[in-house]
Amino acid sequence: MSNETGQPAASPDNAPHWLRKGSIAASLFWLTAGWLVIALVATGFLLTDLYSRTLDTTLSQTLDFHVESLTGILLEAGDPRDPGITLADPRFDRPRSGWYWIIRDGSGRLVNLSTSVVGIDLPGLSGNLDALGRRTGVLSDAFGTQLRVVERSVSMGDQTYRIEVAGNLTEILGLVGDFRGQTFIVLGAVGAMLAIMSVIVARFAMRPVGRLSAAIESVREGETTEITGRYPTEIAPLAEEVNELLRSNAQIIERARNQVGNLAHGLKTPIAVLRNEAGTQNGALADAVAAETEKMSTMVSTYLERARLAARTSVVGKKADAGMILSRLARVMGKIHHDVDVHFEQPEAGLPWFRGDEADLEEMAGNLLDNACKWSKGQVDVSLSGERNAKGSQLLIRIEDNGPGLTEDDARKVLRRGVRLDEKTPGSGLGLDIVKELVDVYGGSLELKRSALGGLLVELRLPAARAGGIGRPSPA
């Protein structure tokens, strides 16, 4: 599609290069982003686990301290039922605090307990004591609070007592959950900053690639003849190779042109001699030689013309102002065909140019316009516009007349080499085939349709280039 000025409409190709599919910058960004997500998530879980272990270790050490303190107080008091046995930590005085201590006798009966245990039935730990007479475990009180419990066996005379101290494990788990949430918020912010930084780095790192791409596009559009500028060490060899390829291409084309010219001179003279000699003789042999030399001459001309077209259109960087060329051709055809009104509709400002040789565009448009004038009944309309399709930005040349037109079957036949539907009209029948040959070389398209004027409509699509730069055609 194209806008009203003939410029290509916006497309996904106009998106920033780091957002395009298959872009190196996009691949680097997504690879970095994926690795950052994995690394930050792993870091978050690792920090949370370390924090949880630290708090659990601190709780266990605190419980061990309280067990040792109760053991000392019990041994000093001498009576486990002494009401003076207590711990200074106020959490053991607050009911439902999750911090409890209990003293049991050898048969498991309660002997003494903290104020926080009053009215609560705490289950005892199961399992065997270790070599130091200790064991630890996790229990839940009547309110569902998880407890870390440390138990120690103490002997007084002929009696054995068990001291149990429990700490609130649910508080630890809550602190760990809060820490996990805050950690992932902080790491998420860090990840966002790193992602923004990776975008900025990708943009700056890929700027030389963008400059090289723009330089190559300038060569292709015909604005420059080679890649210029300084590039980083990694890209500079590529720029030099492209320039060397352009120079090599130009040399190959120049040699091909010289060889084509030499071949033309080398073959045309012997063929002309054979034709002339056959013309001076009579008989079947002379007629056969004349016919075959004519075929040879036609074939040599045909293939030399194809080689010439291929060599000429292979040159990178040529372009021409299609609007100026068509305007000039319309004036010339109007003077040649006095009885035909050739109307050229001026294109919109800013229309792209033709990406190719000026002489080739003149040959294609001139042949089509001349045919339209020959077959018209006095009216030929010519228009030029831009469009965008699967092949990219293209120029659309429309030439229509009010002549008899062609059927679909005739339209297919007339594009064949040398085919003519009316032998009375002057010409060789090769004009449309030459046009088709050039159109194929440039990767364009040629369509013959029914015109709104009643005659033939020719739609010629050719590659477009940005206006300006080298290759400007000379005015009429």
Mean of the pLDDT values across residues 464-471?
Answer: 67
> What confidence score (pLDDT) does residue 177 get?
92
Separation in Å, CA 476 to CA 46, 338, 411: 79, 19, 33
Measured CA to CA, the distance from residue 373 to residue 37 in angstroms comes to 70
pLDDT at residue 261, rounded to an integer: 67
Q: Comparing 59-63, 79-83, 247-251, 393-397, which segment has the lowest mean pLDDT?
A: 247-251
Model confidence over 122-140: pLDDT tens digits?
Answer: 777 777 777 777 888 888 8
State how far the Cα of 300 lies from the Cα of 170, in Å rounded to an integer: 98
Structure tokens at 270: 């012997």
Q: 170 or 127, which is more confident?
A: 170
Most confident of 166-170, 273-277, 285-289, 407-411: 166-170
pLDDT, residue 81, reads 85
Residue in the structure block whose two tokens are 């040649």: 336
Has residue 115 got a pLDDT over 70?
Answer: yes
CA dist., res. 372 & res. 402, Å (int): 9
Whether residue 20 has pLDDT greater than 80:
no
Between 68 and 437, the more confident residue is: 68
Which tens digits make up the pLDDT trace of 283-333?
Answer: 788 778 888 888 777 777 766 666 666 555 555 557 888 889 999 999 999
Neighbour tally for 198: CB within 10 Å: 20
Non-local (6+) Cβ contacts of 156 within 8 A are 74, 75, 78, 80
> Is the confidence at residue 3, as pLDDT, over 60?
no
Q: What residues contact residue 119 under an 8 Å CB cut-off, 6+ apart?
A: 95
Q: What pLDDT, on the 0 to 100 scale, is given for residue 158?
A: 80
pLDDT per position as a tens digit, 186-211: 999 999 998 888 888 878 877 888 88
Q: What angle do CA 130, 134, 139 make, to 5 degrees?
A: 110
For 247, residues 6+ apart whose C-beta sits below 8 A from its C-beta are 226
* Average confidence (pLDDT) over 436-444: 83
How far, in Å, CA of 108 to CA of 407, rounded?
112
pTM recorded for the entire structure = 0.50
| Contact in structure between 142 and 50 (CB atoms under 8 Å) | no
Please determine, for residue 347, whether its predicted confidence score (pLDDT) is greater than 90.
no
User: Residue 21: is it exposed, middle or buried by C-beta count within 10 angstroms (0-12/13-18/19+)?
Assistant: exposed
Query: If 0-12 CB within 10 Å is exposed, 13-18 middle and 19+ buried, where does residue 112 land?
Result: buried
Query: Distance (Å, rounded) from C-alpha 437 to C-alpha 448?
Result: 15
Spatial strand order of the sheet with 159-168 comes to 110-113, 100-104, 159-168, 146-156, 134-140
